Each structure stands twice: as structure tokens, then as C-alpha cells.
Amino acid sequence: MSLLDKFSAFARLRDELLQHGTLPFGVVTERILSPTEGIVQGRRTILAGTNNYLGLTFAPECIEAGRNALTEEGTGTTGSRMANGTYAAHAALEKDLAEFFGREYALVFTTGFLATMGMVSSLAGREDVLLIDADSHASIYDGCRLSGAEVIRFRHNDPADLEKRLRRLGDRSRNTLVVAEGLYSMLGDQSPLADIVAIKDEYGACLLLDEAHSMGVFGNGGRGLAEALDLEDRIDFVVGTFSKSLGSIGGFCVSNLPELELVRMTARSYIFTASPTPSVVASTRAALGLIRQRPELRDKLWDNSRRLYDGLTRAGFRLGPQPGPVVAVFVDDTTKAVSWWHQLLDEGIYVNLVIPPATPSTSCLLRCSMSAAHTTEQVDRIIGAFASLLSERRAAGTAV
């Protein structure tokens, strides 16, 4: 077997998908019209798979802040935070994040992936244990590989299985980092966070909570699931991203533990990556302010999310376990999933096609993500386009 033979399976998959038309991965949006619309394949298309939960990518305050920073500080820092890449604005953003979450310390990374990977790989070492949810994001799994720690998976959202595995560790439970997410990005299901926190406290473990998809979505202040459940004081480390509700790119970690400041000296993804550009930092700071100032955005997001979830349920689709900004439609057959994805795109609806092994099960997903910027009419168009898929199958006498 030669070095590159391993790619042959991926080539076959790509060719199979191309037989249906456009490759579903990396679809080119030729022009962005708004937070919820773009031109795709020359057609005006509703964007229903972008994670732009609060619709802030076109917020005038964010655009103005980014434009001013671009003019005043240039296009990039050309260096890491450890070298020449820490500007006053980076420190100001870290202060803003610490104040927003009510924590003592905050650390900003260049992407959310680097934040989670860097924190996991730095907090746990060769003598430690990482106890992670089986459906954890790829950034968590990559952090586990880099850490050198023993890695144990507990069943997805199963506190009893978590407790069993911590109990088996005995005294090693105090050298264990438990990793969970607030909102899981594939099915949109929420973590049983209260149970997880109680168990990690009982066994003296630490908890890192990834609020990437739940920040801006949950809680009266938009701080995430921990805020909504009044558990913030019992979470050791919170990581998140700027690329969802904040509408930019970057990542962070906040904590009341002073060791977070020492991660600046240990996380390779922080030490060896060029820092976020001035325009990104400025627009992120503006978006963080809007999360505080405009709670009605969360209300609109949840109205849209429930409307989509209820509409697709009534139409006869099998969905993820609970309403939320991520609404996942299960499709058991890969060929059908690819065909439906193309039909939706032809109807001017863009969603995410997710196929195994990227899904948490053997089913494919047509994954939708709602935004506060979606209009009621747009949500109804999405429901109607999905419903037409089932109507065609029923008319043809094919099982749904």
C-alpha cells in the first residue's frame, strides 16, 4: 500500500456524490445578501445551515467596528499572542469576556477549534484521565490525542454511565477532566448538565463545558446552558467560539481558576498560531455588547426554532430529541438524503447534509440551523420545501 492509497475510499465517495450533481460539501455561496439569504448556483437561496443564531453578521455596529479597526490597525497581526500578536484590543476582548461571564480570567484563541483543542490538551497530561461524552466534537477528540492522557468515553448524555466510570477510577477521579457540551451540534440535544455537575462534584473531578452552540442561545444574559440552569459557579472551565452567535471567528476560555493564565505558556494552539485580526476582534466585541443589549434576538430565535421543529414534526419527519436552534432531520438512506438535499437546494433552501461517520448514528441528517434573522415567511418556506419531499414520495407510493 502506497502513502496515498488511503484516499481512494474518499475518492469513491466523492465520485458517488457527484453523480447526483453538485458536491454537497463546500457549496459555494456566490454572493451573500443578508444573514439569511445568498446566491447559490445563481439562485436566491434561504440559508438554513449557517449557525448564525442571532443574525449578527450584518449588524451595523459590528461592521462599523470591524471597518474602523481595519483602517486603524491593518489587516492582521502577523504574529502569535506569545510573540508580537497581542494588541490592546485582544486584552480588551478578554476583559469583556471575563465580565460577560462573571469570571476572573479569560483567554482568547484564533479559532474555536483551537480553543477547545488547546484547553483539553493542556489541562490533561500523561498521568491524567479525560472522561468525554461519546458524541464530543472533533476538536475535543483532537485535544485528547495531543494530551497523552488516558481517554474514556461515557455514553452520550448518560449521567449514570459517567458516574459508573468515575467510580471505577477511584482516587484517579481527582485527576480527571470531564468534558461535555451545552448544545450538541448535530442533533441539537442539550446536555443533562445539572446531573453531570453533581457527579463531577461528588468525585472531585474538573469539568470543561463547551458552550460553542449554546452561548447567545440560552440564559437571560445569553451566557449559555450553565446560566439557564443556574450552574455557572460550579463549572470549572467554559470554552466557546465567536463563529456562531457572535458572527465572526475565534475562540475563548473563561474560568475563575488562576491556572487558566498559565495555559498561555502551555497550549500549543495558542503559542504557535497568529492571533485574531484587529477587525475580527473589534466586530466580536461589538457583537458581545449586542448579546447583552438585545435579548429580543434570543426570543425571536426560539420562536423560529419552535416553529420549524413543530412544522417538520407535523409534516411527518423524524427529528432530533428536542426543539432548539439546531433542527436535525433523520434520513435512513444515503441516496435519498443526497437526493433530498439537492431537491431542497433546487427549491432555494440550503441546509447541511451530514452522512456517517460524521453523524452520531448510522442515519444521515439534513441539518437545519435557525437564526433570529429568519422571517416567519422564510421559516414557512423551509417547512413547505421539506413537506414537498414527502408529498412526492407518497404520490409515488414509496414508503417515507
Taking only the tens place, the pLDDT of each residue in 163-193 is 999 999 999 999 999 999 999 999 999 999 9
**Residue 19 is placed in which grid cell?**
453523480
**Quick one: pLDDT at residue 398?**
57
**Quick one: pLDDT at residue 16?**
79
> Quick check: 292 and 272 in contact, CB under 8 A?
no
- Rounded distance, CA 380 to CA 373, Å? 14
Per-residue pLDDT tens over the stretch 105-133: 999 999 999 999 999 999 999 999 999 99
Q: How confident is the model at residue 295 (pLDDT cuts 50, 70, 90)?
A: very high
**Residue 173: how many CB atoms within 10 A of its CB?**
20
> Quick check: 208 and 176 in contact, CB under 8 A?
no
pLDDT of 258 higher than 80: yes
- Rounded distance, CA 353 to CA 340, Å? 9
Q: What is the mean pLDDT of residues 196-205?
A: 98
How far does Cα 374 stand from its chain's mean position?
Answer: 19
Q: How confident is the model at residue 26 (pLDDT cuts 50, 70, 90)?
A: confident
**What is the pLDDT of the chain when averaged over all its residues?**
95
**Quick one: pLDDT at residue 119?**
98
pLDDT of 361 higher than 60: yes
DSSP state of 392: H
**Quick one: pLDDT at residue 25?**
77
Q: Where in the chain is the domain with CATH 3.90.1150.10?
A: 5-57+295-395
- Rounded distance, CA 68 to CA 71, Å? 5
- Rounded distance, CA 244 to CA 238, Å? 16
**Residue 13 is placed in which grid cell?**
465517495
Handedness of CA 107, 108, 112, 114 (dihedral sign): negative
Q: What is the largest CA-CA distance in the chain?
A: 65
Instruction: Please state which CATH number belongs to domain 5-57+295-395.
Output: 3.90.1150.10
Hunting for cell 475562540 — which residue is that?
A: 251
**Quick one: pLDDT at residue 14?**
82
Q: How confident is the model at residue 394 (pLDDT cuts 50, 70, 90)?
A: low
**CA-based angle 302:220:185, to the nearest 5?**
50
**Residue 161 is placed in which grid cell?**
454511565
> Quick check: 204 and 174 in contact, CB under 8 A?
yes
pLDDT of 134 higher than 80: yes
**Strand-pair partners of 352:** 367
Amino acid at 213: H
Per-residue pLDDT tens over the stretch 314-353: 999 999 999 999 999 999 988 899 999 999 999 999 999 9
pLDDT of 360 higher than 80: no
Look at phi and psi of residue 191 and say left if phi exceeds 0, alpha if psi is from -120 to 50, else beta: beta
| Cis, bond preceding 357 (omega within 30 deg of 0) | yes
**Residue 212 is placed in which grid cell?**
460553542
Spatial neighbors of 267 by CB under 8 A, at least 6 apart, are 109, 118, 119, 121, 122
* CATH 3.40.920.10 is right for the domain spanning 58-293: no
Q: How confident is the model at residue 306 (pLDDT cuts 50, 70, 90)?
A: very high
Q: What is the mean pLDDT of residues 50-56?
A: 98
Spatial neighbors of 136 by CB under 8 A, at least 6 apart, are 153, 179, 181
**Residue 381: how many CB atoms within 10 A of its CB?**
17
Residues constituting the chain: 400
**Quick one: pLDDT at residue 334?**
87
Q: Where in the chain is the domain with CATH 3.40.640.10?
A: 58-293
> Quick check: 287 and 39 in contact, CB under 8 A?
no
- Rounded distance, CA 88 to CA 92, Å? 6
**DSSP H helical segments within the chain, as ranges?**
8-18, 60-73, 88-101, 112-123, 138-147, 159-169, 193-203, 225-228, 259-262, 268-271, 278-293, 296-315, 334-346, 376-395
- Rounded distance, CA 159 to CA 199, Å? 8
